[in-house]
Structure 1
Amino acid sequence: MRIAIATDAWAPQVNGVVRTLQAVTAELGAMGHDVCVIAPDQFLTVPCPSYPEIRLALTTQAGVGRRIAEFGAEAIHIAIEGPIGLAARRHCLGRRLAFTTAYHTQFPDYVAERTGMPAEWFWHYIRWFHAPSAAVLASTPSVEAILERRGVGPVQRWGRGVDLALFRPDRAAHPAFAALPRPIQLYVGRVAVEKNIEAFLACDTPGTKVVVGDGPARAALSRDYPEVRFLGALHGEELASAYAGADVFVFPSRTDTFGLVMIEALACGAPVAAYPVTGPVDILDPSSAAMDDDLATAIGRALACDRGAAAAYGATFGWRRSAEQFLGALVPQGEGRRQLAA
C-alpha cells in the first residue's frame, strides 16, 4: 500500500512523536509498504512562538496536496494538528479523500500552560480538526476515554514500541555517571514547562539527579538547580547507556498521552517512578515501577524494584505490533470514498 503521512513533527525535532513516526515508518517499509512522509523539512519554516526549537512549516493546501497527489497515496494519515496537518486536511476534504488522524499530545493542556488561557478553548479546535477523520488513533485506554469524553472520535488504539536492539539492559553505563553519587535519578525528554521537571528536581532525595534533553526551560532550571547534571540531548547508544546507568527513571509529567521514554528506560533495566496519571497508569507494571502522588515517595519505592523485572517488561513492547495497529486503522481510498458517500 502507498501510505502518505503528513506531520508537523519530524527530524531534527527530538521527541516521542518523531521517534514513533520514524519507527513505524521503518516497520511499514519492512512489511513491504511504500511510505511518503510530508514534513517541515520540505518547506520554508519559522520558529514556533515560545518554543524556537520547533519549526513550523510555511505551506499551503496546494503545496501539501501536490505531494500527496504525485505520490499516488492509497491511504492518508494526518499526524499532527499543525500547519502541514491543516493543509493536508483541507486537501483531503476538498477532494473527498478519506484520512485518519492521531492524538499524540495533550495540545490543549500544553497551550494553556504556555498562554494562561483555559484549555477548554483549545478543545474546540481539537474537536473541529478531528471531526472528519475516519479514525482518531490514541495510544492508551486513558487517552481514548479523554477523547470520547470530549466528543472526539471514532477512536482506535495505536500502541507504542521500543527498539529492543538498541535499548537493552546489558549496556554499559554512560561514562558521565562514573563519579556521580548514587542513586542516579534520570529524566529524559523535552526540557519544557509542560513536562513538570521542576517537581522532580525539587524532590528531597539522596544521590544525583540527571537531566537528558534540551528545551526552552533548560537555562532557568540549570540556574535554579546547580547541583543537577544537565547532559543535553543524547541519541542512540549514548541515550541507551544513560538509561542503563540510571538507578531509577523519573517521569514527572502529568500531561503526556503515553511517555515513550518510560518503556525505553524499562527495556534498559531502569525501574520507573511517576505520578498515577494518564500515560503511567496505562503503561507501568507494579513489578518494575512505582506511582504515587508524592514523587519522592515513588522514587524511593521504584529504587527497590527488580531491574530484571523492568527489562523483561520493557521487552514486551515491540514496534511491529504498533505498525500493525496503525496499518489496520488506515482507510484505503476506494473504501473511504464509499464511506464519505454513505
Structure 2
Amino acid sequence: MRVIVVSDAWHPQVNGVVRTLSTLREKLIAAGDEVIMITPDCFSSIPCPTYPEIRLALFAGRKMKRLIEEARPAALHIATEGPLGLAARRYCLQKNIPFTTAFHTRFAEYVNARIRVPLRWGYAALKWFHRPSSALMVATQSLEQELSRRGFGNMVRWTRGIDTDLFRPDRRSVPSTRGEGPVFLYVGRVSVEKNIEAFLSLDLPGRKIVVGDGPARQALTTKYPDVVFAGVKGGEELATLYADADVFVFPSKTDTFGLVLLEALASGVPVAAYPVTGPLDVIGDSPAGVLRENLQEAALAALKVDRNLCRDHALRFSWEISAAQFRENLFPFDPARHQKSSQ
C-alpha cells in the first residue's frame, strides 16, 4: 500500500513524535508498504516563535495539493495539527477523501502553559481539527477515556514500541566511570510544558542529568548550576546515558504516552513519575516504576526497584505490533477515482 503521512514534526527536530514516525516509516517499508512523508522540509518555512527548532511551513496549500495528486496514495494520514496538517485536511475535505489523524501532543496544555490561552479554546480547536477524521489514533486507554469525556469520537488504538536492541542494560558503564552517588536522568524537551522544574528542584542525592534542548535550557542552566545539561544526544551515546542512570524521572503531566519511558525501561532503568496519562499506561501496576503525587518520594523509592523487572516490562512493547495497528487503522481509498475527481 502507498501511504502518505503528513507531519509538521520531522527531522532535525528531536522528540517522541519524530522518533515514532521515523520508526513507523521503517517498519511499514520493511513490511512491503511505500511511505511518502510530507514534512516541512518540502516547503518554505520559518522558525516557530519561542521554539525555533520547529519549522512552520508557509503557503502550503497549492504544493500540498500537487504532492498528494502526484503520489496517488491509497491512504492518507495526518499526524499533526500544524500548518501542513491543516493544508492536508482542507484538501481532503474539498476532494471528499478519507483520512486518519493521531493525537500525539497536548497542544491545548502547551499553548496554555506558554501564552495562557484557555484550555477550553485549545480543545475546541482540536475537536474541530479531528472531527472529520475517519479514525483518530490514540496511544492509550486513559487518553481515549479523557478525550471521550471532552467530546472526541472515532477513536482507535495505536500503541508504541521500543528498540530493545539499541536500548539495553548491558551498555551500563562500570561503577568507577559513573561517579559517586545515584544518577537521576531526564530525557526530553527542556521547556515549561514538560514541568521539568518539578524534577530539577528536588532534593536528591547524587547527580541530576538532563538530556535534550529547548527554549528553557539557558535559563535553567543558570538557575540550577549543579545539574548536568548534556544537550541533545542520540544513538548509542543516548542509550549509554540511559543505562548509566539509576532512576529515570519523568515530571511531565501533559504527555500522551512518553516514548522515553520505554527507552529507560528497556535500558534497565526504573521510572519515577506522577500517576497521570502516559506513566499510568506504560507502567500501570508494574513494579518497574514508582508513580506518586510526591515526585521526590517516587524518585527515592525507585532506587530500590529491581532493574531486571524494568527490562522484562519493556519487552512487552513491539514496533512491529505498533506498525501493524497503524496500518489496520488506515482508511484506504481508490487512487484512480481520486485522480479523476481532481482533474
For normalisation by structure 1, the TM-score amounts to: 0.95
Tell me if 1:138 matches 2:138: yes
Q: Match for residue 154 of structure 2?
A: 154
What do the CA deviations read for 1:37-76 (whole angstroms, capped 9, x no partner)?
0001111111111111111111322211211111110000
- Paired residues of 2:139 and 2:160 also in contact (CA < 8 A): yes
Q: Match for residue 209 of structure 1?
A: 208
User: Shift in Å at residue 147 of structure 1?
Assistant: 1.5
Tell me if 1:274 matches 2:273: yes
Unaligned runs of 5+ in 1: 338-342
Q: Match for residue 316 of structure 2?
A: 316
- Paired residues of 1:210 and 1:230 also in contact (CA < 8 A): yes
User: Shift in Å at residue 179 of structure 1?
Assistant: 5.1
Aligned in 2, Cα 1:240/1:179: closer, same or farther, shift over 3 Å?
Answer: closer
- Paired residues of 2:6 and 2:37 also in contact (CA < 8 A): yes
Q: Match for residue 14 of structure 1?
A: 14
Residue pairs, 1:62-101, within 5 angstroms: 62-101=62-101
Residue pairs, 1:233-272, within 5 angstroms: 233-272=232-271
Following the alignment from structure 1 to structure 2, what is the Cα–Cα distance between the partners of residues 138 and 178? 41
SS in 1 for 2:152: coil
What do the CA deviations read for 1:64-95 (whole angstroms, capped 9, x no partner)?
12111111100000000000000000111111
Q: Which amino acid aligns with 2:213?
A: D
- Paired residues of 1:187 and 1:249 also in contact (CA < 8 A): yes
SS in 1 for 2:170: coil
Following the alignment from structure 1 to structure 2, what is the Cα–Cα distance between the partners of residues 60 and 220? 35
Aligned in 2, Cα 1:200/1:174: closer, same or farther, shift over 3 Å?
Answer: farther
What do the CA deviations read for 1:96-136 (whole angstroms, capped 9, x no partner)?
10000000001100001001121111111101101110000
User: Shift in Å at residue 14 of structure 1?
Assistant: 0.3
Q: Which amino acid aligns with 2:185?
A: L
- Paired residues of 1:189 and 1:261 also in contact (CA < 8 A): yes
SS in 2 for 1:211: strand
SS in 2 for 1:165: coil
Q: Match for residue 341 of structure 2?
A: none
Following the alignment from structure 1 to structure 2, what is the Cα–Cα distance between the partners of residues 217 and 67? 36
User: Shift in Å at residue 319 of structure 1?
Assistant: 0.5
Following the alignment from structure 2 to structure 1, what is the Cα–Cα distance between the partners of residues 177 and 50? 36
For normalisation by structure 2, the TM-score amounts to: 0.95
Q: Match for residue 177 of structure 2?
A: 178
Q: Match for residue 34 of structure 1?
A: 34
What do the CA deviations read for 1:121-162 (whole angstroms, capped 9, x no partner)?
111110110111000000001110122111112100000011
- Paired residues of 1:59 and 1:84 also in contact (CA < 8 A): no
Q: Which amino acid aligns with 2:194?
A: K
Following the alignment from structure 1 to structure 2, what is the Cα–Cα distance between the partners of residues 65 and 150? 32
Following the alignment from structure 2 to structure 1, what is the Cα–Cα distance between the partners of residues 328 and 296? 41
SS in 1 for 2:159: coil
SS in 1 for 2:89: helix
User: Shift in Å at residue 286 of structure 1?
Assistant: 2.9
Q: Which amino acid aligns with 2:208?
A: K
Following the alignment from structure 2 to structure 1, what is the Cα–Cα distance between the partners of residues 174 and 18? 24
- Paired residues of 1:288 and 1:306 also in contact (CA < 8 A): yes
Following the alignment from structure 2 to structure 1, what is the Cα–Cα distance between the partners of residues 322 and 59? 30
- Paired residues of 2:271 and 2:289 also in contact (CA < 8 A): yes
Q: What is the percentage of aligned positions where both structures have the same residue?
A: 53
Aligned in 2, Cα 1:11/1:174: closer, same or farther, shift over 3 Å?
Answer: farther
Q: Match for residue 120 of structure 1?
A: 120
Q: Match for residue 194 of structure 2?
A: 195
- Paired residues of 1:174 and 1:241 also in contact (CA < 8 A): no
User: Shift in Å at residue 174 of structure 1?
Assistant: 9.8
Following the alignment from structure 1 to structure 2, what is the Cα–Cα distance between the partners of residues 59 and 29? 30
Aligned in 2, Cα 1:244/1:179: closer, same or farther, shift over 3 Å?
Answer: closer
SS in 1 for 2:238: helix
RMSD, matched Cα: 1.7
SS in 2 for 1:170: helix
User: Shift in Å at residue 9 of structure 1?
Assistant: 0.4
User: Shift in Å at residue 180 of structure 1?
Assistant: 3.2
- Paired residues of 1:80 and 1:102 also in contact (CA < 8 A): yes
Count residues with an aligned counterpart: 336
Q: Which amino acid aligns with 1:52?
A: P
Q: Match for residue 300 of structure 1?
A: 300
